[in-house]
Amino acid sequence: MTTYHGYPDVRMYIAGEWCQGGTGRTAPIVNPATEDVIGEVPLATTADLDHALTAVEEGFRVWRATPVARRTAILHAAADLITERAAEIGRISTQEQGKPLTESTGEARRTAETLRWHADDARRAYGRIIPSGPGTMLTVRREPIGPVAAFVPWNFPVGGPNRKISSALSAGCSIVIKGSEETPATAMELVRCYADAGLPAGVLNLVFGEPAEVSAHLIASPVTRMVAFTGSVPVGKLLAAESGKVMKPSLMELGGHAPVIVCADADPVQAARKAAQAKFANAGQVCTSPSRFLVDESLVEEFTAEFVKAAEEVVVGEGLAEGTRMGPLANERRLKAMERLVADAVARGAELLTGGSRLDRPGYFFAPTVLTGVPEDAELLHEEPFGPLAPIVPFTDLDEALAQANSLPYGLAAYGFTRSAATAEKLSDELEAGILSLNHCGGSVHEAPSGGVKDSGYGREGGPEALDAYLVTKRVSHLLAP
């Protein structure tokens, strides 16, 4: 393919072929570190989507009939290619999304490991034999649900699409995935690894387009048997409702507003360092990013001082530049959201300790920001910031902190710091979240499940649970001598 400013030409992938789309409609792709247009993404027409649906239906028939050992071999070959190409995939991802190159490349390498895990787990999608009467065989079988329609955002350009693709393909399903129009080339290069590994045509199809048009068409189609989505709570609710109208199961990995509870017996310096590192990773554009810091009043002064110090040490710059620890926000929409949330908090009486504004340079850069004295009615404590904002709020009683942590409709991730086993167990028991990390703020791992409760969605990605949404359970009662 030709390149534009060192950036690949973006194409969709339908029925085993790279294509521009029926009408040539495109949208600009912007480098968030420079605000330069670096390419164009093709937008699918209804005819393109119908072509993808025809392809994914035929692809399912082929892939389902492929022996699991052969499927696993192809997926492992794709994982090897992702690993080999991680540096180039990471470079493209940084151009599109802005995160530091080390984060982008690391994401690609982790993606390969996720694929290997899911591919091997497909060999363990066991059924069972149930004891029954003489002459009867009663069994339970696990079978692929069918063609999947998947939709992913821009914040993890490699890992986001791969979670859906690797789970679906490992389970024996085919898939049409709508990649983000803001990070399309990364998704394209990921799909290329699967194609080059020998995946049959039609099993994996990549489209881009107007989100509402694409989702409505793919979800309503009788070809689609399951819907998988990662994104915001409002959009997730809309897609879940559309899926429900046509009785299609869905997997919803939605947003959060993760509390961090720093208990009185914790080390405030270590807690602040670990929390700050997680807060500013990917410029805070992570659905599990720590975003409300509830600190015991006996530690809050020391914790806050160390957190501010860590924030001011963060090197903000272009993701391809050596030494950058935090890149730009992914788009201008996030910049405006940061400015609005900070302005609202300050207007209500919060104190801005560091940051709080856009950096005076081209690109969508926003300074790492720490606020204290944030009142309970501030938007920042209720709306997922999805950016580098850290509100620190003291508490006097752990039950009070737990009540505040659980007060929102979100329930994706939560974090706690304590040296007490009893306190750790209390946090584990009472925090309403699908993901809890104690004494660290680590991210998702492929061998364990991730997902939310309450408005943060349902279903799990990762671990043995990752294939559940893509498999159906069939009971077979066989009378041997009718």
Residues labelled catalytic: 253, 287
Alpha carbons 286 and 453: distance in angstroms, whole number? 17
Query: 310, 276 in Cβ contact below 8 A?
Result: yes
Alpha carbons 154 and 145: distance in angstroms, whole number? 27
Alpha carbons 239 and 241: distance in angstroms, whole number? 5
Alpha carbons 423 and 414: distance in angstroms, whole number? 15
The vertex-312 CA angle with 310 and 317, nearest 5°, equals 110
Query: Other C-beta atoms within 10 Å of 293: how many?
Result: 29
Query: 196, 76 in Cβ contact below 8 A?
Result: no
Query: 357, 366 in Cβ contact below 8 A?
Result: yes
Alpha carbons 337 and 278: distance in angstroms, whole number? 20
Alpha carbons 126 and 471: distance in angstroms, whole number? 11
Query: 146, 221 in Cβ contact below 8 A?
Result: no
Find residue 474's DSSP bridge partners. 141
